[in-house]
Structure formats: structure tokens, C-alpha cells
Structure 1
């Protein structure tokens, strides 16, 4: 890619960014779109809808940017919880790293690279038509003493990143403890999911659970809720919800206009009936089927060898969680329960064999998706390399000779195409994660996020870099011993796309960010070893070898020092919190509600048909968490 193509891409992206900021600034002030841009404020009654025309509504403003940056952590914590605070810390951490790397790269490394003579002589008059390679380390002469500046930058950057990682890990850990102390009692803090329940002769799973925990955890055991097979019931409820939405949409379009259909096969045969009446009758029938199925499951429903077991204290639940319950480690398996509204109930309808096969299918599907994605990656790299594109598609030579067209194709189009393809990856990964046996929606989000992360690393980083010369050097890629050398040459030269992952983790996603950064540091160290070796500076290459070792030792220290806080709260915190709750009069009411907190929502009463008339419901409903 040449400099002018890069500048064209920057200009296009900057223009689009300004356009979006302008549109957002205007649309967020319109009464018609306030439910879209401020639904939470509308639900909480903090947004005043003014329909009176005001010229100021049609003018863009930047005040919302200033207000967004001025929001304190305390305000964010009180309104959005610890998740939002940790996400904000990720942004701050990333900006600090980017600022340091940007200053060093622009004001130190870039001039050093450009003043090199490895690739071509310097010609400032023709700078826009220069290849970006002249700004990379590839342009520094082999064996040059200037390479020691790059060596120092590698050590300095590694030290700064490790310091920032330690600071953020320590800061977020303290925030997590403080947030726990200030939080109200939550059902998942007192509840475990128990699986592998053995079935004794003459007893149900429910009786076995009660007998076991009454005998071995008598002082702490409170209640349990055995999971039942509800896959058929869930299908009926889903059909009822879809029919209800169809009916609401039908009425919202034109409530007074009559719509007719035939009540026979596919609406092609039978007598003409009013469509609204037909759907309302069908919805009533579905609701009756749901009630009958719920009644049958409550009385004689098939039980699953899994149960949510609740305890009277957090400490009692923690003891049961961390102690092996049975001589046979495959029985009475305990794990922390998710929040009640976070439980992914379809998981419990699958057998052990189904879950095992699903995980195998998901692994194969992820591998196939990664391989197939090489096709757009190779195509994008071909667009970024104009000579390769002309050689591969000679009939485009005339069009590509137009300066602006070539700059757009090589500078902007590859990134746009890659972004469009990448938009499909997170939803696919979420679908795959939902069928591999996760017990909660947040666990599905975490699993999908990790899949997208590794997909990005392997397919966008490695494949994107290695396929830059795939049109004429594909054979060398297949030889593993040449891959470090290939990376060392290619990374400083075509440009890397950086994608920031955003997903909910219940405040526990900082270790993922930490581990990803450690992986990136080690990868940088390996590349540095390869680069200095290729640039005929073996001493610098050898002196970079301790860096990944030191980084791994630092990571191990952080794992021992901070990671346990993100997996489970220590006994010190649990006991202090339990003692505080002993003097809380609301704990009695909380424990009473805890008994039914983990009841399968598909067993709850539902009534859509009587609510069809009130189809104009608000976008958001405030609820107490």
C-alpha cells in the first residue's frame, strides 16, 4: 500500500465518522427517536419529551461528548454496575497503551525507519507515492546501529504494558471486593448447581438431593429445586410468543381494517375467517396447551439429574462448592449457579451424550469457519496489493490506472470488505456456543467472545499477514520453520486491522483482557527475535529471548495474586458479609424468596391473549435486580 492510499482511507473513514457523529447529535434530540437513543431515561422518567418545534433540535452539537467523558466511576457504578466500570477501565488501559506506543512510534521509530536506505533512496518530493514499507523497520539497513533503538523500544513497551496490566489488575480487584461488600444479597451467591445426582432405588432425584444435603450440610442447607425436562413446553411457549407478536403487529398496522384468510391448509382452503379472530383463537388454544403441559410437568414431569441447591449463608454455599461431595468424583458435582434470569434452561433438556456430540460438532464447525474465512482474507490482501491484483485480474488494469480508484481500492475497500465479513462472525459464534452445553447466557457470551478472539488472532492476524504473498509464495507458508521469518518480514510492511471485542461477562472479563495482552506481548517478542535475526543483529535477537520468559513469570504472579478474586470470593469476605446480613431484617424475606428463585420460567403462568389489546407497550420496563 502506498502513502496516498492510506491517506485516502483515513480521509474516507474520518468523513464517515463526522457524518455519523452529526447524525447522532441531531437524531438523539428528536422526540420521535428518543425511545431509540435514550430508552433507559424514558423508562426511568428522566427524559422529558418536548414536541414543540425548536430550531436547536436540527443543529448538531458536541455537548454530549463532553458529558460522556465527565461521567465519574461512581456514577457509572451506581447506574450501570461493575460491568460498565471494568469496560471503561479497558478503554482507559487501551488508550494509555496506544498513547505510549503512538508517541514512541511516530516521533522516534518512524523517523528512524524513514531515514534508512535498505529499500530505496529518500525522495521527499514524491512522498505520497511511496510505499508504506519505507516507514517500517524493513527500510533500516541490515546490521545498522539504529536497530538498537527498536530493541530499546521493545523493552520499554513491554515494561510499560506490564506495569499498566499490574495497576489495572490491582485496581479492578479492589473494585470487585468493594462492589461485593456494597451489594445486596443475590440468589446466585447462596446457590449451587448440582449435577450427576445418583438415583437411589425408590427415591426421586428430589428426594435424593434433600436426603444428601440434609445429612451432610444440615446447618447450612436451605432448599433445592430439581430441574425437569421442559423442551416440549419451551417449544409451545416459543410458538405462543411468536403468535402473540404476529397478532400485535397485525393490530398495530390498522386496527379498524378487517383482514381475512382461509382456515384450511396454508390459508389456501377452507372458509374465510377474520385474521385477528383466527389468531386470537389459535393463541388461546396454545395457552391452554401450555397450561396442561405445565400441570403435567408439575405432577409427574420427568426429572433431570441436576438441581439448584440453596444455602442459608454464602459461606455455607462456598464450602459445598469447593469440597468434593462424594467418593465418586463423577457424582454430586457442584458449580456456582448463575443468576436466576441468566440461566440457559434449554441446556438441561440435553443428555450427556447430546452435549458431548454438540461440543464436538461446535469444534468442527469453528475449524471449518476459520478455514473458509481464509477466502475473503486472501481476497482482501489481493486488493491491498495493486501489482498482485493487476497480475491476477488483468482486465481491471485500465480501471486501476486511475489514481483515485486505485487509492480507494487499495486503501479503503479491503478494510470495508473485511469488516463486513467479520460482522457475521460474532452471531455465528454465539449460536455455536449456545449448543455446546453452557448453563447460562453470560457463559455463552464469554464462550462466544473467546471464539471470536481466537478467530481474530488466527484468521485476521496470522492469515492476513501470511496471505499477503499468497498469490506467489503459498508453498513457503506450508513449511512451519519459515513462518517466524515470514511474519518478521510481513508484519512491519500491508497494515494490521485491530478489532476491540465487546461482550458482557458479569464483571469477570478483565482476566480475558489481561491474558490477551500477555499473548500479544509474547507474540511481539517472538517477532522481535525473528526481525533482529533477519536484520543481521544477532546480539539484539539473543537479548530479546529473556523477554517472553519474564512476561510469563509476571503473568504467573498476577494469576496467583489477583485471579482467585475473579473466580471466587475469599472466606474473609464471605464471613464478613454473612455477619452483616445477620442484623438485616430483610434477610428473612430474601431467604423465603430464594426457595423459588430458580424455578424454571417455562413453568410460570403465562397469559398473552388477554393482553393483546394493550399492544402499545413501552420499549423498556424497569425491573429490580
Structure 2
């Protein structure tokens, strides 16, 4: 790819981004789009009237200012600790790549340009002159690259340590901030052994009453997902029969029916006889319902304990000699429970994981086809000998569009199917909570992106350049090949950052699918119901994109520094866009308590070590043995730093501190709140209610505060309002004393003339 193709891609992406940003600033002010762009505010029940004014149809950037001025407490109030951690990942990327951009732009980039190492090479382009490949062999300038690598690595490790420490502290404070969470007293039990004489419910009650008599309170068996609603409807119909038939039984016999009827029907005849028949039928119906419930029982249950410490101990111990039976873990929050997977037999989970692992590998291999096609678009000149008709295409004026903008666009389109598929794979693995399922999908998407977007693009691009003569016989050959080929792919990844990053942020703001669907529902189909439903933040998509760009930034910082300014622009705009979306659009239903940071830490360490290994090999290929040897201590220090962080902070993300649990138990017991919390535990995990509405919004107490009086004569728009600061943050689940209930939403007649208050 040459400079005109890169400029074509930059112009296309800049035009698309500016146009969509301007369109968003207009559409967000229209009353029809309130539920598209302010779903999070609607979940809090915040609306107000908005008069028609000219300012609603003029683009403005005031939403950027509001996103910039929002504090971390505001983000926590709207999106919870996971949203704060995600933004901390973005902030870390801004800091480290700002340092790398300054160093590499003013030190490394000029040395690469004036290196004169590519003179006489025919297939080199103008962009290759800005890479380390243009530095001559044995040049002393390579020490500047090595020094820059040391500085960037040291800064990255320092920033990682401080972020790890702060997020670990936030995670510990999260437990103390919401002490009445029902999950603190609840344990999920799976692998309940089958018995021919006892039901699963009786087995669970007998087991924990025998071995945990002093701490066991009650239990709730889990029923097969999908049958819960049918059982609930049957119970409602049975209730109607039981309440209406006795009324008919009170009717005199001479007014009812003169025809002789079998007295077993229970509808005609004497009062006493009819009543006895109905009572007997209701008892039989009750027994039928109980029998049907027993048939729907799963080998899983939720067990409630008297204290947090008791639940913590039970969740972290093996209950029997057979580790496949009586498997325990701390329960997720009520709205976080994935009831469908709780019904999966525990002894089948390992088979599901193997199947998912094989399916992921097969999908990754199949995805090499679109990856190779994308690289073929960027290197049409290398395919002209094999495909002569491409010579006519390469002579056209639109060749810069084909080689510059189109490959990254095609790759971005193909990658849209990856997150939903990985979410499906994570569901099949049997995760018992929605938060862990999304985090598992995030891991799968990240591994897929690292391999199929980064490594496979590099290898397939090299294979096309050499027309099938690429051979790798050992890991050493692969490392040498990567060191040689990574700088040559810098231009493609630069265009990918612009297409997937810049244009992706504009699509994230505009929300095209909910926007078009809402217009069709309201304006074309004239439907009263809403197309837009509350949606949660797609961490498995956005976290992986940020970490993938981090990998590109680290690996190209000294090899091809031209990509760094484009990355820095993306991270700066991502900081503002995601803050706006978290505060206005996405609804928080469940949390992972900041566990995405461990994934970000591991991905960053991998990126650093890969960068150092590639740089060391490349220094050796450039016949600078001293610079190559100097990277070995850097690799060792980075690995030791990773081990230190894992020993120091990782246990805080895997387990809960017993001291905190004991102290909270003592505090609640002294204040008399502990007994009240225990009594309301079974109500919080009511499967019949929680399965009735998968996107049930928890009711937030004291969240609706009176609006500030509006000044007369002012045309206040959406951006001029402040952020809601509820006393009881909506990011946490409701207390056990109150069962989850959906928040009120405005009616259809009010939705057209009301605007969400960002207050």
C-alpha cells in the first residue's frame, strides 16, 4: 500500500466520522429518538417536556463537553464498576500511547526515514521508508530504538501497576458499598446426586441440615428453564377454578339444572356434596402440580446461609470425596443468574467445553479465507501474474480505494459475526451467570482477534507477496518471519484502525439498528409498543477492540511509528464516546465487579513481551548483536513483573476476604439487620418471577429526584442538563427485602413530546 491509498482511506473515514457525529448531535435532540439515545435515563424514570425550537436541528458538540466533565462517580452511578474499569483501560491506553507517540515521532521516525536501508529494493513503497526496515544493517541508530523500547515498557509497567492497585481497591470497596446483596449469603450447588427415594429438593435439605445445621437457613431448587412459565400459567388457571367453582356450588339445585348429572362432576347437586367434590378436586390438582414440579427439578439448587462467612466457607470447600458431586460456588446476583445453564448436568460440562474448543478452532481456521481475501485486495500488484485480469483493475483511477479503504471495510464487516458467535459458544459452556458468560465471550473474541486479525493477516499477506513460497519449519523461523513482516503490514493496520476504530465509534454513537427499527415501528407500522429495549454494554466487543489496538500500538511503536497518531486519536475519541454512551444509553443489569481488568492486564503483558521478542530478533537480523542482547533482560523483567502482579493482586479478583465478611456480619448482627436480611433471601431468588422477564429492570429507590426549575425564556436542550445522582446506585441489585420490578416507562402518547432528563 502506498501513500495515496492511505490518504484515500483516511479521507473516507474522516468524512464518514464527521458526518455521523454531526447527524448524531441532531438526532439525539428529537423526541422520537429518546428511547434510542437515552435508554439508561428512561430506566431511571427521568423525563420532561421539550418545546420545539430551532436549536434541535443544528449540530452541536455540547455532548462532548458533558462527557468530558462527568466524574468517575457519575460513571459509577450510571454504569457500575465494570464501566469504570473499562474507561480506566481506555485512559491507560491514552497515557501510554501519548508517551509512545511523542518519543517515536520525534526520535524513532526520523531515524527510520533517513536510514537508507531500502535503496535499490524494487518492491519497497514510500511508507516502508518510515519503518525500521529502512535502517541499515549494523547501524548505531538501532540503539535509539532499543532505548525507546525500554522507556515505553517501563512506563507501561508502572501504569499497569498503579491501575491494578486502584482497581483492586475499588473491587474491595464494592463489597462494602453494597453489604445487603443476597449473593453474599447464597451458594449455588450443582451436581446434586440422584436418589430413587428422595427428590432433589429433599436431598439438598437433608444434606445441608446434616452437615451445616448451625448455618443452613433454607434452599430453593432450580427448575428446568422453559417449563417455569408453563407451570406458572397452570397454577393461575387452577386458582381461577378453585375460586369460581364454589360460587356456582352455592346456587340452589332447582335453579341449576333439572337433568340428572353424575355427582362426580362437582358442578350440580347439593351444596355440601358439591363443595366436597370441589375440595377433593383442588387437593388432587395441588398434588398434580407438586408432582409436575418434582418432575421439572434439576440437580442444582440455591442454598441460603445465616452469614456471609458461612456462605464463603461453603463455596470454597469440597463437599464430598467425589468432586463431581455437591459442587458449590458463590451465587451471582438475582438478575445475573442464567437459569437455563443451571439446569445443565454438571458432569456434562467438560464435554461441552471440549466441543466449544473444537468449534472455536474450526471457526478460526475457516476465517482464514476472508482474511486471505482481504490481504489479496491490499496486494493486487502481486497477484497480476497469476490473475492477468487484475492488471486492468490496477490501472484504474479507483485502485487507491480498492487497496486502501476497501480491505479494512471488508474485514470489519466479516468480524461483526464473531462476537455473537462467541457469546453462543460461552452459553454452551454452561456458565451460571450472565456476567461470567459475557466475560468468557470476551476472552474468546480477544484470542480470535489476536490470531485472525493480527497474526493471520501478517502471514497471509506475506504468503501472497511470495506467492506460496512461504515456509515455516520451526518456532524460530516463525519468530524471524514475524520480525521481518510486521513492519510491512503497518499501512494495512493503520487503515484498519481508522475503519474499525474511527468509523466504529461513529456507528456506536448513531446506533443505526435501533434508530431505523424505532422509526419503522413508530412512523411506518404505527405500532404502540417499543422497538427499543434496554440493552447492556457490549464489553465482549468493545474491550477486545481496545486491547487489539493496544497490541497494534505496542508492536508497531518502534517498528512503524506512523500508526501511533491514528491510535491516539481513536483512544481520545473513544474516551468521550463511551462515557456518553454509558451515561445515556446502556442499562446496567449485572456486574463482574471489575474482572475485565485482569484480562486487560494479561493482554497488555502479552503485547509487551511480543514487542520485545520481535524487536530483539529484528535487531539481530540488522546485525546489531548488542541491541539484540539488551532486550533479553527487558523480557525477563516484564515476565517477573507479571508474576509479581498476579501474586499481589490476582487473589483479590478470585476470592473474597474473610475478614470483610466477618466484620459485616458482626455489624449487621449488632444492629439487628441480619435476621431481616436472612428472612428475605428466598424472595430475591424467585425463579418464577425472574424468568418471567429476561430484561427486568430493578426498581431504584430514591432515584427520581425533583427536576430543577427551568428558567423562563430559555430553550434548554438535552446537553444542558446535569447527571442524575441517585442515593442508592442503580448499578447494584435491589435489597432482598424488595423483589425486582420493572421501572415505569412513559406511555406512547407521552413519548413523542417528552425528552429524557440527563439532569
What TM-score comes out, normalization by structure 2 length?
0.68
Q: 1:392 to 1:297 in 2, by over 3 A?
A: farther
Q: Partner residue of 2:282?
A: none
User: Does 2:685 match 1:598?
Assistant: yes
User: Does 2:498 match 1:411?
Assistant: no
Aligned-partner SS, 1:225: strand
Q: 1:145 to 1:418 in 2, by over 3 A?
A: same
Q: 1:363 to 1:528 in 2, by over 3 A?
A: same
Distance (Å, rounded) in 2 between the aligned partners of 1:352 and 1:589: 33
Q: CA deviation at 1:227?
A: 2.0
Q: Partner residue of 2:27?
A: 27
> In 1, are the aligned partners of 2:133 and 2:487 still within 8 Å (CA)?
yes
Q: CA deviation at 1:184?
A: 4.0
Q: Partner residue of 2:484?
A: 489
Q: Partner residue of 1:451?
A: 444
Q: Partner residue of 1:6?
A: 6
Distance (Å, rounded) in 2 between the aligned partners of 1:141 and 1:57: 59
Q: 1:198 to 1:357 in 2, by over 3 A?
A: closer
Q: 1:596 to 1:88 in 2, by over 3 A?
A: same
CA deviations on 1:562-583 (whole Å, 9 max, x unpaired) are 1111112211221222223224
Distance (Å, rounded) in 1 between the aligned partners of 2:2 and 2:215: 69
> In 1, are the aligned partners of 2:168 and 2:652 still within 8 Å (CA)?
yes
- Indicate the larger mover: 162-171 or 101-110: 101-110
Distance (Å, rounded) in 2 between the aligned partners of 1:353 and 1:312: 29
CA deviations on 1:225-267 (whole Å, 9 max, x unpaired) are 12233455579999xxxxxxxxxxxxxxxxxxxxxxxxxxxxx
Q: Partner residue of 2:315?
A: 321
Distance (Å, rounded) in 2 between the aligned partners of 1:417 and 1:584: 62
> In 1, are the aligned partners of 2:9 and 2:401 still within 8 Å (CA)?
yes
Aligned-partner SS, 1:141: coil
Q: CA deviation at 1:386?
A: 3.7
Q: CA deviation at 1:199?
A: 4.3
Equivalent of residue 344 in structure 1, options 311, 317, 338: 338
Distance (Å, rounded) in 1 between the aligned partners of 2:85 and 2:307: 28
Q: CA deviation at 1:597?
A: 2.8
Q: CA deviation at 1:208?
A: 2.5
Aligned-partner SS, 2:48: coil
Distance (Å, rounded) in 2 between the aligned partners of 1:218 and 1:114: 76
Distance (Å, rounded) in 1 between the aligned partners of 2:57 and 2:288: 54
Q: Partner residue of 1:271?
A: none
* Structure 1 unaligned residues grouped into runs of 5+: 123-128, 239-290, 607-613
User: Which structure is higher in RCO with an 8 Å CA cutoff and minimum separation 6?
Assistant: 2
Distance (Å, rounded) in 2 between the aligned partners of 1:236 and 1:370: 42
Aligned-partner SS, 2:221: strand
Q: Partner residue of 1:277?
A: none
Distance (Å, rounded) in 2 between the aligned partners of 1:453 and 1:294: 50
Q: Partner residue of 1:84?
A: 83
Q: CA deviation at 1:589?
A: 3.5
> In 1, are the aligned partners of 2:108 and 2:144 still within 8 Å (CA)?
yes
Distance (Å, rounded) in 1 between the aligned partners of 2:287 and 2:415: 42
> In 2, are the aligned partners of 1:197 and 1:305 still within 8 Å (CA)?
yes
Distance (Å, rounded) in 1 between the aligned partners of 2:104 and 2:36: 41
Aligned-partner SS, 2:189: strand
Aligned-partner SS, 1:544: helix
CA deviations on 1:298-337 (whole Å, 9 max, x unpaired) are 6432432221111121111111122222233333221121
- Indicate the larger mover: 78-87 or 224-233: 224-233
| Aligned length in residues | 554
User: Does 2:606 match 1:566?
Assistant: no
Equivalent of residue 158 in structure 1, options 153, 156, 160: 153
User: Does 2:595 match 1:555?
Assistant: no
What TM-score comes out, normalization by structure 1 length?
0.82
Q: CA deviation at 1:114?
A: 0.4
Q: Partner residue of 2:163?
A: 168
Distance (Å, rounded) in 1 between the aligned partners of 2:484 and 2:286: 68
Q: CA deviation at 1:351?
A: 3.4
Distance (Å, rounded) in 2 between the aligned partners of 1:294 and 1:391: 77
Distance (Å, rounded) in 1 between the aligned partners of 2:487 and 2:408: 18
> In 2, are the aligned partners of 1:229 and 1:301 still within 8 Å (CA)?
no
- Indicate the larger mover: 478-487 or 564-573: 478-487
Aligned-partner SS, 1:226: strand
- Indicate the larger mover: 195-204 or 218-227: 195-204
CA deviations on 1:70-89 (whole Å, 9 max, x unpaired) are 11011222232211111111
